[in-house]
Amino acid sequence: MKILILCTGNSCRSQMAEAFLHSFDNRLTVCSAGTEPAEKVNEKAIQVMCEAGIDISRNIPKSVSQYLSETWDYVITVCADADRNCPIFSGKVKHRLHIGFDDPAKVTGSEEFVLNEFRRIRDEIKEKFYLFYQENLQL
C-alpha cells in the first residue's frame, strides 16, 4: 500500500502524519511532500514528535513534483484550507482524501501556548490517521 501525504511546506503536519502511519505499520510505503517545501522540518514539530516517541529530526521537506510519475493507493491532503493552501495532485491515484488540520506553524503567542498547539495538532493527527489506518489499511 502506497500513501502520499501532501501539504504546502512539508514541515509540520504532513511530516507528523507520515511518521505516525509508519509507526502504525512499517509495511506501508508512506511519503510526504509539499508544493512549496520549507528549508527544514519545523523544530517544534520535531520536539513534539520526540515527546511522542518518534524521531523525525533527520527528515527533510520534499517537493510534490518528485512523486508525480508514481502510482499511489492514497493521496491525502492535510491542510485545513485545502482549496487555497494544498496542491492538486495530477499523478496516478486510486483514492484522494482530505484530512485537514490547523497549521501549527502559524500559531502565535507565548512559547508554552505555541508548543501546546503543536501538541494538540499532533494528537489530532495521530487520532485521525489511526482511524484512517484502521478503516482502510489494516490487514
User: Which pLDDT band, with edges at 50, 70 and 90, does 83 fall under?
Assistant: very low
Q: Provide CB contacts within 8 A for 101, sequence distance 6+.
A: 13, 78, 79, 80, 121, 124, 125, 128
At 12 the pLDDT is 96
The cell numbers describing 11, all together, are 514541515
Does position 19 have pLDDT exceeding 80, yes or no? yes
The residue count for the chain: 139
Taking each continuous run of H as one helix and of E as one strand, the counts in the chain are 4, 4
Q: Provide CB contacts within 8 A for 10, sequence distance 6+.
A: 32, 33, 34, 37, 38, 61, 62
- Residues designated catalytic: 7, 79, 86
Strand-pair category, 92-101 with 71-79: parallel
pLDDT digits (tens, 9 = 90+) for 98-122: 999 999 999 999 999 999 999 999 9
At 63 the pLDDT is 93
pLDDT digits (tens, 9 = 90+) for 45-66: 999 999 999 999 999 999 988 9
- For the chain, the domain total comes to 1
At 110 the pLDDT is 96
At 137 the pLDDT is 87
Instruction: Provide the whole-model pTM.
Output: 0.92
Domain containing 128 — which CATH number?
3.40.50.2300
Print the domain residue range for 66. Answer: 2-137
